[in-house]
Structure 1
Amino acid sequence: MSPPPAWEKWNKLEPHRLARYINPRAIAAWFAEAPAAPDRLSHVGGADRFELVAGLYRYMLAFDLRYDRTAIDFGDHRPGTQTVRTAEEVRADGGSCLDLSLVFAGICQHAGLRPIIVVLRDHMLVAVALATGVDDAAPRNGIVPGEEELLREGLQADRLKGKPVLLDRAIRETGQDGRYVLVECTGLSRTDRAQGPPGPLDFPDAVRLGYDQLVRGQLHHLVDPVYFHLRPDKAMHPYPIGLPGERAADAARAAEAVLGVHGTGRLTEMLKTLGLARPGRFTAAKLQRLQGIVAASGHEMAPRVADALADLLDTLRTTEFLTGSMASALHSDALRRAWREPGQPPAARPADLHTLTEYLEHIALHHHGERLGMHRWLASFVVRLATESEVSLDTAAARRWARDTGLVVDLNDMIRTVGEERRNARARLLISLHGAVADDWPPQVVGWWLLDGQPSDPRYEPNPSNDRAGLEHAIGRLVEWADELAGDEGIDLKRVDIAVPTGLLMLWRPEESDATGRLIRLYDVTTRWSGRLSRNSTRLARKRWRTIRAGTFDKSVAWLEKRSTTNLGKLTGELRDGPQYQGGVGLAFHPRRQEPLLGTVLDHAPVLLWPDRGAVVDTIKAELHECWPDVPGALVEAYRDRIPGPARPLAGLRAVWDDEEWLRFCRRYAGE
């Protein structure tokens, strides 16, 4: 006996995913007939919700379930997983407090009741709502008015208040009034429990013990499965479970993925060219049948349609894998960051990409390089989602998905690539020229080697000639030093940040430092403002940086025309108080010999952009808008591409980019 393919161990750090193990229809099917009266689940009823809970509990006692007393710790916040038994396994072999609680919750939910999973540090039980049922939650996508103190978005609203609120609303003895009844679900089983009488408990004893367990226990989570099952995004809908007398694959069919609007529209158009009609919803099974029909058609367009079918079939398999095994990784920010096509320049993310289906179908319909390009992009997307959420891909489900989609090699390659990126990202060399006076070249430069965000002691390199060449030789020596330290850690140094004083921003491009070849060829060079090191506070810059990261390009950067910058006193007030200047600032002109202007803007904005002389600002803005989520990395690529040429418009944009890493370092440097 084995669980269905999508069934995974429960991660203790994901309480919401408990809802996925509660499949009311399947659980009710496995416990539909009892060996004693009432002998059918459908015959159980009650005059009110309390009597219905009692009737369901007494019905489940007839199954004489066994109890697994394996020690469980639901409160340990170290990464860890817990095996969850299916309803079939619980009926055959019994289960732990976790398994029995989930099964009883499914029985209650199937009857129209609202069970709440109560997760204590080392125990689990069920609270059943007596004032509301599934029908009350359905019109509001699972939200029930009046429960705001207890539940928010399906989970415990306040960890400090959850326990006293629930105890206040729960009944302690049968016959009392209350909004919840707490049920000790191990009472359904044959066991010698630590507290209470041995063997199965009758319902009044199970209620008393459930209340006492909450009084004594440390409450960690409350989970409302009805809320998650009613969510329109379906991310937490129940895992498919095989029903009695039916294969698990048949049970999963009702929950299998279907093509969305974009995939359905494109494929329907292609089928028309072959004289084929759309076969209703496009499921994986239907796409596989269409592959045979298309191959036999002999139409000149058949190879192109066959490729599209194969790509879209892979998206359906990927949807089922991700929603079944990595649901916790599927949120808007993660999808956006994982979306970029490998090996291609930064591009604008289409505005109509919101759901997982839309992202995957975009990959299938817009990839480069035929099937190979599709496989690389799909593998990159999945690996980056998993890496960001720290979800392991060393699972049976991941291996099965890679085999079914033909992505085994691509997946392994991408895991290696992303792993190297993450290892290399641990290291950074930070160089500052903050000793420079006005627009003079500094007599020395200082560098810090950062590993996992922790800086080394400063290392100073002299510039005895006090000129650009001497400066760049000093930078070269610091880079060699950091390269050796990185090698000792078994990683490659990729990131070099150079903090430049205002007076040199117009005279010198840090990425073109040329002591041993242009720095940008081998390193990702980002320009910082060294003036930030001498500021007493970075509070304003940090606040405005959060605005930049949270907003779109249009909301993140306010552009200044030259006529708006002639009065620096007036501009200072606008930068400080103006609602339009709450993020970064772009200059729509080249600020030649206007270092005071640059200093004024940088005093208030963590990001400053300006064009090179002769650059077309509108063209730069258009490309910047497309790749904004990838800045400053997109700028690094544009600068690097400019060396062999031809230069992209973005290569004509200069930037000071003081992000959270630099601001954090400045705070530490200043002792803020």
Structure 2
Amino acid sequence: MTRAVRHLLVIAAQCRAMGSPLSRLEEAARELHDVLTDPSLGGCQARTGEHPSLLAGDDLTQDDVHKAVDAVVRQAQTDGAVVVLALLGHGFTPPQRTELFFMVRDSTTQSVRSAVDVGALIAGIADEPGVDGLIAVVDTCRAAGAIPDVGRLAGGVRAGRSRLAVLTAAAADQPARDMNLSLSLARTLREGVPSAGPALYVDRTLATALRDQVSGQVIGRAEYDQDPFPLEDLWLARNPGSTAGTHGDVVGPVGRRDLTQSVEMWRGPRGLPERLTDGTLLELREFVSSGQVDDELNPDARGLVADVVTALLEVSRTKKFLAEFLADSLTSELLRSAGRLAGFPSHAQGTVPLRDLLEYAVLRAQALDGAPWNGLARFVAALFHHAGVAHTDPRLQAWARGLQVVTEVNDACVEFTEDRRRRAVRLVISLAGAWTEWPEEVDVWLLGRGADLPLYQHFPCETGGSHGVARAIGAALDWARRELPHPELLEHIDIAAPAHLLARWHPEEEKVGRYLLGAKYSVLTRWSGRLDEAEDNAEINNAARQVLKKIASCGAAPVKWISTAALHDRSALEYRLSAGQYDAAIGIDHFPDDLEEVLQLLLPFAPIVLWPRGDAHPLEGRLPGLVRERWHELPDGLAAAYRSRWEAHQGCTACLGDIRAVWHDEAWLEFCRPFEHRVVTVPEEET
């Protein structure tokens, strides 16, 4: 299954004429939108701005619906993409007719002109040249009336050469209740369908799975396919519950690509078996080691084929070992965390995380001058570290001895443990009192695991401006070094500042003593608003925890970008923020002139906010791609990136050091917990 671009539009409309609002409408719309934009599941492009991929509310009009559809169709035509459309809300069919009409704010069942003709809408999208297909989910009463007349497609501008799949919530004479289709569909896409393959389609298998969950309404489906040259199958989502791997397919896309290339180097183009099993790999290894062939193009490549086959067999063996040993703790989140700790990019986890991460470890993370299996040893060590299993465990040591990587595993485990211990020692410096300009004093907390920690102190800023803050930071550092028990070293500093300082001040570039602060310390910027004695701190921190949990479950960079157009309509942006539509990290894809005001708006709604430096002009248009590529390095990689930027930056067109960030992780939110109740106390020790 390929990963072509797919564009999503979820429309959830309330209707005044239907009485009380649908209580679960927005919940269902958000659940469906989230799963369909999850890179590891629905894989659709999430959009914000003027034409977002989620349109929900009680004020939507026919014009809003048509404009949103026009926008997503134009984008799909540009990308040659599939459109996924979901309509949630009220629907009706006129007397003696079966055509479904989707109801918006001012619709009534007495006027078809007041509502949206769903069949015509669906047929029109599918018939648009350049659209690679349409999948429609219709969760309304009488939803089966949304299925268009095939004649509309056969007689359209594409002469019927289009593709369409429609999933409906109820028969043409039935009500649909409680948004059951959307909620059940979202749940099914997240959990998967064991009886299906690697992908889920609008087919009998999916319909049966949904019908088993929903009673009182008939889940229906319809398919139309007359396009002989599609770019990819019309799949709805990847199937996390697929049991395809249990049938013996042990090789993922990275392994298949490397094996294909090495075999072609050796003997020219050769078709590999559709399913590569342990048995297939063993036969190939035996043939490579002993088989006599007359058509070798490059005899030296025989060894390369043998190396790839050996690596893939080790992936299969280690996968079985981990699946048995870590059976109680092996989750997708554990795998993602271990991949990040091992230094793997987010795309390494693929669609079958354990297999694909192991393939990356043996085929991409192996240094040419390193010990054999070093990348694999590091990843396995990271898994055990996150699972809380000691590296001295006999089973891990036995596995390491088998590959002769005992030293590599032990070194990695010690490194991870030491890094965790060092990170626990932090100096928090708060400039929360700087309401308009620079503060008169800074509050400081020294955090760690010693018996006397944490400690609190405050230091006056004897002179104005950043110079006074720098002197206060220097005094705080002297105090912290005296208080730290031997042999602890202070390496990490958190600077919490208000929005007006975050917009223009780079604390790591402040000279403190002989050095720039960031030259000797890893400096991470936070927003001091979470330390203010504000009534809504508990609310915004709880929302941030929910977002962080979602971010941790994402395979790709979970950033929603805000464009110039989105900032132009500030009231609409604030509404979308308050409606929870930016439930991810937020990135500003440009440097706005009023950055201070923008940060003041965004920071209460997002635990992570990114933007480019004001002097990073060559970065225009490159920021989302750069963040996506380097997400696995954040936020830790920022400190090193800033240092690199000081060394040589001329001619750099896309530099991690050009990215500014305010980053609130779980540990920081725990630090903020005492301030949620308007009581300023020394925070408890981090765990």
Same fold by TM (over 0.5)? yes
1:610–1:399 Cα change, 3 Å: closer
Percentage of matched positions with identical amino acids: 28
Matched residue, 2:592? 591
CA distance in 1, matches of 2:306, 2:278: 15
1:573-584 to structure 2, matched below 5 A, reads: 573-577=575-579, 579-584=580-585
1:362 aligns with 2:360: yes
Query: 1:514: which partner in 2?
Result: 511
1:444 aligns with 2:441: yes
How far is the alpha carbon of 1:566 from its aligned partner? 5.3
Per the alignment, do residues 262 and 582 of structure 1 end up closer, same or farther by CA in structure 2, a change over 3 Å counting? closer
Q: CA deviation at 1:611?
A: 1.7
Q: Tell me, which stretches of 5 or more residues in structure 1 are unaligned? A: 1-137, 142-229, 236-254
Please show how residues 108-127 of structure 1 align to structure 2 within 5 Å.
none
Instruction: Say whether residues 1:267 and 2:259 are aligned partners.
Output: yes
Selected match of 1:652 from 658, 664, 675 = 658
The 2-side partners of 1:542 and 1:526 are apart by 21
Inter-CA distance 491–325: structure 2 relative to 1 (3 Å threshold): farther
In structure 2, the residue matched to 1:620 is 623
CA contact (8 A) 1:338 1:385 kept: yes
Alignment deviations for residues 488-531 of structure 1 (CA, whole Å, 9 cap, x no partner): 3x443332110012221233102222214222233322111112
Cα distance change, pair 294–266 in 1 and its aligned pair in 2 (3 A): farther
Aligned-pair distance for 1:612?
A: 1.6
How much has 1:294 moved relative to structure 2?
A: 8.1
Cα deviation for residue 450 of structure 1 reads 1.5
Aligned pair 1:478/2:481, yes or no? no
Contact 1:585 1:605 in 2 (8 A): yes
Tell whether the 8 Å contact from 1:447 to 1:458 is kept in structure 2 after alignment. Answer: yes
- Could you give the per-residue CA deviations for residues 555-589 of structure 1, whole angstroms, max 9, x where no partner exists? 94443334544565565444323x42334433333
The answer to whether the Cα contact below 8 Å between 2:530 and 2:675 also exists between their aligned partners in 1 is no
- CA–CA distance in 2 between the matches of 1:256 and 1:604? 46
Q: 2:606 is aligned with what amino acid?
A: A
Quick check: 1:499 aligned with 2:496? Answer: yes
Query: Does the CA contact (< 8 Å) of 1:498 and 1:528 recur in 2?
Result: yes
Greater Rg, structure 1 or structure 2?
1
- The answer (yes or no) to whether the contact 1:379–1:411 under 8 Å persists in 2 is yes
Instruction: Give CA-to-partner distance per residue, 1:122-166, whole Å, 9 cap, x none.
Output: xxxxxxxxxxxxxxxx9899xxxxxxxxxxxxxxxxxxxxxxxxx
Q: Which residue of 2 aligns with 1:347?
A: 345
**Structure-2 residue corresponding to 1:435:** 433
CA distance in 2, matches of 1:466, 1:295: 82
Matches within 5 A, 1:102-141: none
- In 2, Cα distance between equivalents of 1:349 and 1:374: 23
What is the distance in 2 between the residues matched to 1:401 and 1:572? Answer: 54
* 1:636-666 Cα deviation digits (max 9, x unpaired): 3422322323465332221222333333322
TM-fit CA distance, 1:442: 1.8
Deviation at 1:271, TM superposition (A): 3.8
Going from structure 1 to structure 2, the CA distance change for 1:560 and 1:323 (only over 3 Å counts) comes to closer
Between the aligned partners of 2:657 and 2:262, the Cα distance in structure 1 is 40
Q: What SS is found at the alignment partner of 2:647?
A: coil
Residues 583 and 404 of structure 1: is their aligned pair in 2 closer, same or farther, counting only changes over 3 Å?
closer
* Shift in alpha-carbon separation, 1:355–1:596, aligned structure 2, 3 A: closer
**Structure 2 vs 1, CA of residues 485 and 308 (structure 1 numbering), >3 Å: closer, same or farther?**
farther
Do structure 1's residue 531 and structure 2's residue 529 form an aligned pair? yes
Q: Alignment partner of 1:465: what SS?
A: coil
Kept in 1: contact 2:589–2:624 (CA 8 A): no
**Does 454-463 or 429-438 show the bigger shift?**
454-463
Query: For the residues of structure 2 that align with 1:574 and 1:614, how far apart are their CA atoms?
Result: 29
Structure 2: distance between partners of 1:622 and 1:373: 33
**2:557–2:628 CA contact under 8 A, matched in 1:** no
CA contact (8 A) 1:558 1:586 kept: yes
- Aligned amino acid, residue 413 of structure 2: I
| 1:561 alignment counterpart | 563
Counterpart AA for 2:382: R
How many correspondences in the alignment? 424
Contact 1:287–1:313 (CA<8 Å) still a contact in 2? no
| Equivalent position amino acid for 1:300 in 2 | D
Task: Say whether the 8 Å CA contact 2:339–2:349 is kept in structure 1.
Answer: no
Q: Alpha carbons of 1:359 and 1:347: their partners in 2 closer, same or farther (altered >3 Å)?
A: closer
Aligned partners of 1:565 and 1:571 also within 8 Å: yes
Q: Distance in 2 between matches of 1:581 and 1:469?
A: 37
Other structure's SS at 2:373 match: helix
Deviation per CA, 1:65-97: give whole Å up to 9, x if none.
xxxxxxxxxxxxxxxxxxxxxxxxxxxxxxxxx
Which residue identity is paired with 1:364? V
Q: Say if 1:307 and 1:371, in contact at 8 Å, map to a contact too.
A: no
Q: CA contact under 8 A between 1:321 and 1:398: conserved in structure 2? A: no
The match for 1:402 is 400
Q: Distance in 2 between matches of 1:270 and 1:519?
A: 49
C-alpha distance in 2 between matches for 1:422 and 1:473:
29
Amino acid at match of 2:383: L
Question: Deviation per CA, 1:313-332, whole angstroms, max 9, x where unpaired?
Answer: 43234223212322334211
1:326 maps to amino acid: L
Q: Which AA in structure 2 matches 1:325?
A: F
Alignment of 1:112-511 (within 5 A): 232=243, 259-260=251-252, 262-264=254-256, 266-267=258-259, 269-271=261-263, 273-275=265-267, 281-283=277-279, 286=283, 289=286, 292-293=289-290, 299-340=299-340, 347-350=345-348, 352-370=350-368, 372=370, 375-439=373-437, 441-451=438-448, 456-488=454-486, 490-511=487-508
* Alpha-carbon separation, structure 2, partners of 1:375 and 1:295: 29
Q: Partner of 1:28 in structure 2?
A: none
> Is the CA contact (8 Å cut-off) linking 2:336 and 2:555 kept in structure 1?
no
Change (3 A) 1:139 1:444: closer
Closer, same or farther: CA 315–295 of 1 in aligned 2, 3 Å: farther
> How far does the alpha carbon of each residue in 1:347-371 deviate from its partner, in whole angstroms, 9 at most, with x for none?
3424734242222112222235237
Partners of 2:576 and 2:582 within 8 A in 1: yes
Q: What is the TM-score of this pair, normalised by structure 1?
A: 0.55
One-letter amino acid matched to 1:664: E
- Distance in 2 separating the partners of 1:281 and 1:663: 46
Distance 1:518 1:294 in 2: 63
State the match for 1:610 in structure 2: 611
Q: Go from structure 1 to structure 2 and tell me whether the alpha carbon gap of 1:256 and 1:317 turns closer, same or farther (over 3 Å shift).
A: farther
Q: Which deviates more, 445-454 or 635-644?
A: 445-454
Cα separation, 1, equivalents of 2:421 and 2:251: 37
Asked if structure 1 preserves the Cα contact closer than 8 Å seen for 2:588 and 2:612, the reply is yes
Q: Which amino acid aligns with 2:670?
A: R
| 8 A Cα contact 1:611 1:653, kept in partner | yes
CA RMSD of aligned residues (A): 3.8
Q: Distance in 1 between matches of 2:557 and 2:256?
A: 34
Work out whether residues 559 and 588 of structure 1, in 8 Å CA contact, stay in contact via their aligned partners in 2.
yes
Check the 8 A contact 1:568/1:600 in 2, yes or no. no
> Is contact 2:548–2:665 with CA below 8 Å preserved after alignment?
no
Compared CA separation, residues 630 and 548, structure 1 to 2 (3 A): farther
Structure 2 CA distance for partners of 1:618 and 1:370, relative to 1, 3 Å: same
AA of the residue aligned to 1:263: G
Q: Match of 1:667?
A: 673
Assess, with a 3 A threshold, how the Cα gap between structure 1 residues 370 and 592 changes in structure 2: closer, same or farther. same
Q: Secondary structure at the match of 1:438?
A: coil
Q: Which moved more, 1:449-458 or 1:360-369?
A: 449-458
Distance 1:403 1:556, change over 3 A: closer
Instruction: Give the distance between the partners of 2:418 and 2:660, measured in 1 at CA.
Output: 29
Q: Are residues 645 and 573 of structure 1, via their aligned partners in 2, closer, same or farther at CA, if it must alter by over 3 Å?
A: same
